Structure 1
């Protein structure tokens, strides 16, 4: 007769027990808050970034494209912003204190912001974002931040007249203190989409750079008239 031997440990000897699998919970990802984001902006020493702006207008078959570099310095209560456009034509726009200064091939112009409420509100909104001024932004916009970790999208809807009659909303996206894109949608549907690259949010400017970058280029020397032929 065949005898079957069961695979059972002898009495008094403990059986080997396989350890239960251990499940390790993934660490929770904490998303950046609006206060943290604006606090990071407020702590910047300065900013430099390459930009590509596409202005999309219903009346145009193709967008208008501008490319260049922007510079920003907090400078206490009087932050300064400069936009140097390289393509398709060279121009410089400087916002310094209470004035907007512009120089291009057509000439030069200075706009007193105190006398141009629309321009002032529009410009102030961008400066206040870079400066991380929550109090000013809260007065100007209804703000909605959507974030996942350090990646975020901030939607701004104007509350003040006359800005709310011109701008439907502003959408800014980034990662930490690095801004990736900015979309400005006008009430009529036209929009400007700006993408940023080579962003340096720790930029420090020397005294010479502050003078060169945040000032209009010198006026070209007048061309001497050719002597009249006899």
Structure 2
């Protein structure tokens, strides 16, 4: 009798507690995490896939974001294949590359304004503004999530079919913008720092266009 009890104790495995399952993120929680970012810096690799091109157009560089309500600022510094800088600051979009410089007043360009506002509002976690512009659908498994945005406002709904963003926690991994005609841009992010804090000097240099190149000296000198 004693031996049988000892044998059972030796062979019966102890019950193992099931690992806790992480709760799925809600849309409010996700946007709340974005809204809590002190700043953002990430390397990006963008592939523009167009029906007329055999191979995608590829751009690589770094993005920077400083949240500040309606005055939030976003800068995109492209390093490859050619250097360029795009700065979104308030109601203006400014660009500079080897071909020159351009400034677009977002107040006078509704399509550009909506498209630009989309990215600024996503990084800022502005759920109220996003709900006005998009029908939103979030799918999440634990901390991994995919957010699908379908434009509701003209003229963006005539240009963009959907935007899909995927990530984990507060870190964005990919962003896919699908146009109505089928062309798309897929951006992959790496080295993401969602709590980047910018010094006053960095806010000046990173969110400004580079200085204009010096004019060449007159011929004959």
TM over 0.5: yes
Q: Is the 8 A contact 2:22 2:143 kept in 1?
A: no
Secondary structure in structure 2 of the residue aligned to 1:219: coil
Runs of 4+ off more than 4 Å: none
Q: Which residue of 1 aligns with 2:67?
A: 74
Correspondence for 2:41? 48
1:29 maps to: 22
Q: Which has the higher helix share?
A: 2
Q: In the alignment, is residue 161 of structure 1 matched against residue 150 of structure 2? A: no
**CA positional deviation for 1:225:** 1.7
**How far apart in 2 are the matches of 1:99 and 1:34?**
29
- Greater CA drift, 75-84 or 16-25: 16-25
Q: Distance in 2 between matches of 1:45 and 1:99?
A: 22
- Rounded to whole Å, the distance in 1 between the matches of 2:66 and 2:55 is 34
What is the Cα deviation at residue 16 of structure 1?
Answer: 3.0
Counterparts of 2:67 and 2:215, CA distance in 1? 36
Match of 1:188 in 2: 181
Q: Quick one: distance in 1 between partners of 2:104 and 2:80?
A: 23
How many residues are treated as equivalent by the alignment? 217
- 3-state SS of paired residue (1:120): helix
Task: Give the structure-1-normalised TM-score.
Answer: 0.90
Q: What is the alpha-carbon distance in structure 2 between the residues aligned to residue 28 and residue 131 of structure 1?
A: 29
Larger radius of gyration: 1
How far 1:14 sits from its partner (Å)? 11
Unaligned 5+ segments in structure 1 are 1-8
1:6 aligned partner: none
Unaligned stretches of 5+ residues in structure 2 = none
Q: Any residues of structure 2 matched to 1:81-92 within 5 Å, and which?
A: 81-92=74-85
Structure 1 residue matching 2:104: 3-state secondary structure: strand
1:120 has 2:109 as partner:
no
**Cα RMSD over matched residues?**
1.6
- 1:138 partnered with 2:135: no
Instruction: Give the alignment's TM-score, normalised by structure 2.
Output: 0.94
